[in-house]
Amino acid sequence: MNVSEIRFATAAELALALRKRRVSAVELARAVLDLLERLGPSYNAVAALMPDRALDEAARADRALARKDGGPLTGIPYGAKDLLAARGAPTTWGAPPYRDQIIDEDATTVVRLGRAGAVLAAKLAMVELAGGGGYRYPSASLQGPGRNPWNRERWSGGSSSGSAAALGGGLVPFAIGSETSGSIGTPSAYCGITGLRPTYGLVSRKGAMALSWTLDKLGPMARNAEDCATVLEAIAGGDRADPTTSGRRFRALAGRAAVSAARRARIGFAEEDVAEHASPEAKRALEKGVAEFRRVAPGFSRVALPVLPFGPMVQTVYGAEGAEIFAELIEGPRFEELVDARQKSGLRAALDIKARDYLHAMRLRARLQDAFAEIFGKVDAILSVGRAITATPLTQPLDSPPSTASAGPPPNKRPGNIGLIPAGNLAGLPAIFFPCGLATDGLPVGLQLVGPPFSEPLLVALASAYQRETDHHTKRPRD
Amino acid sequence: MAAPVAAEERSIDDPVRLAEEARENTHKAATELRSQRVPIEIEPPTVFRANVER
């Protein structure tokens, strides 16, 4: 198997090649390390390469494969967002004040992937502190702006910027990202990859940087929904070291059950998400994507989120929690080392969020959960755009016009479900983001599906059904 | 006749301007949140749970 065959292969394809001895895990690890080293800098995707660890884990995987042991991730290389602690490299959280931080332990997710035989090849770049202060520029990262593999003058999205760029550029077959409000979804949509945000509490966050105790989730990013499911199965589950885990596991629906569940699923949709909110470049591809999806799961009906101030709610929650988490940094001598001036002013101001406002936002979250429960009495999943726009230019301020996922809808348009990213995160709901075509500017666009808590099996079945009928997820950018 | 409004001459990245904007954003978010009343008469108990394992 040569490098060009390896480069955009799925984890499932690589697993098959390993079992058929078309490639060894060590050869695979060397190829991925080489890709990351050669092409990673073009996208500012890599925080740290981990050759020693990767080759050691790959050799172990080869021994397991020789014994005919192991599972679908044995010998598969991956990258982890640099907010996950992992032995063998610094854990910088994308932020200059932490550039030399060594956390001499593995996050639970890294441990579980190791047990599944996966090979950690690199820590991947991210927006500093996952962008908790509200950054203005894509350059808000120790590693520089995440460059989009489809157009390097465009942003790869944040805050899992390196995870998405490395996948979109074909450098790793899967990666781990995190989402507080949009940090898996936005980069997945911008880079044309598939990302899965699990239900709050399905995946342990032990060893992951905290931005918001009540919002943060870790999840897989991959080439398709099937690979996301394989990774999620390995990392989901209770963890005594993270008391917020639910103890639930994840198992994908098998063959016929998955097809049947997708076909029978009741899909909620609001046409204004595309008709009124899509940018002129993105609109046609999004319309086509929705029409294709309707052929896969024809049971559409209209649902729309309740009108609540999702942006202020989510910003107040992660602002207050993040400011408390990083209070020592904010009030200490290294704070000024952060890259983005708006991020700094946002973090400072967040220290003064009043308790009553944080608590009010939390009470509104409970109302939102009730509203979602009512919606999910009528539909099994909500379909919306991943993002209504394509990746923004690297030089464009993200707050003018607002292009981060926590921004509210424009006041002159029907809101529909355009606030689904902050709303879904506030309610702790799972989501899957998957590509549905290319916009007129040549950049990817995608859709998202959100379901009730622990509905990941259905979301994966739906996205997989769509990906069996379409080839958008197989498109590759030119170098 | 009203006096013309002076054009904003500071850079959008001016730290003083950013600090003012951040404070205004926090205030605006608080105002929006508080406009959404949660009726205490029917609100369920809060979500804090005792850790039964400890």
Write out pLDDT tens, residues A350-367: 999 999 999 999 999 999
Of A312, A344, A345, the CB nearest to B29: A312
Render A167-187 in DSSP notation, one character per residue.
Answer: HHTTS-SEEEEEESSSTTHHH
Q: In angstroms, what separates the C-alpha of A309 from chain B's closest C-alpha?
A: 7
Q: What angle do CA A249, A433, A426 make, to 5 degrees?
A: 70
Minimum distance, in Å, between the CA of residue A385 and any CA atom of chain B:
25
Question: Between chains, do A364 and B15 touch, taking CB under 8 Å as contact?
Answer: no
Q: In angstroms, rounded to a whole number, what is the distance separating the alpha carbons of residues B25 and A350?
A: 10
Contact at CB, B33 and A350, closer than 8 angstroms: no
Helix residue spans in A326-393 (DSSP H): 327-330, 341-350, 355-378
Please compute the mean of the pLDDT values over residues B19-31 and round it to a whole number.
96
Which parts of A98-184 fold into alpha helices (H)?
108-115, 161-168
Residue among A344, A353, A400 minimizing CB distance to B26: A353
A136 with B13: Cβ contact below 8 A: yes
Residues in chain A: 479
* A81 is a catalytic site residue: yes
In percent, how much of chain A has pLDDT > 90?
Answer: 97
Instruction: Name A21's Cβ contacts closer than 8 Å, sequence gap at least 6.
Output: none
Are A319 and B23 in contact (CB < 8 Å)? no
**CATH 3.40.710.10 matches A263-308+365-474:** no
Cβ contact A309:A408 at 8 Å: yes
Cβ contact (<8 Å) for A345 and B19?
yes
From A24, A81, A139, A188, the catalytic residue:
A81
The count of C-alpha atoms lying within 13 angstroms of the C-alpha of A195, restricted to the half-sphere facing its C-beta, is 37
Q: Which residue of B has its CA nearest to A134?
A: B22
User: Tokens in use for A3?
Assistant: 């490098």
**CB of A154 within 8 A of CB of A391?**
yes
- Residues A82 and A80: their CA atoms lie apart, in Å, by 6
**Total CB pairs under 8 A between chain A and B:** 74
Q: Residue A269's beta-bridge partner residues? A: A302
What's the CA gap between A135 and A145, in Å, rounded? 12
Q: Specify the DSSP class assigned to residue A236.
A: B
Closest CA to B25 of A247, A396, A408: A408
The one catalytic residue in A139, A141, A159, A384 is A159
- Taking residues A59-74, report their average pLDDT: 97
Q: What is the ipTM of this complex?
A: 0.86
Check: CB of residue A461 under 8 Å from CB of residue A437.
no
Active-site hit among A161, A181, A183, A455:
A183
Question: Any idea which architecture A3-235 has in CATH?
Answer: Alpha-Beta Complex (3.90)
pTM for the whole structure: 0.96
For A397-444, what is each residue's pLDDT tens digit? 998 766 666 666 677 889 999 999 999 999 999 999 999 999 999 999
Residue A96 reports pLDDT greater than 90:
yes
Instruction: Select from B12, B21, B33 the Cβ nearest to the Cβ of A360.
Output: B33
For CATH 3.90.1300.10, the residue range(s) in chain A are 3-235, 263-308+365-474
Query: What pLDDT was estimated at residue A407?
Result: 66
Residue A242 vs residues A108, A110, A219, A238, A325: alpha-carbon distances, Å:
9, 14, 16, 8, 17
Q: Do B38 and A367 touch (CB under 8 A)?
A: yes
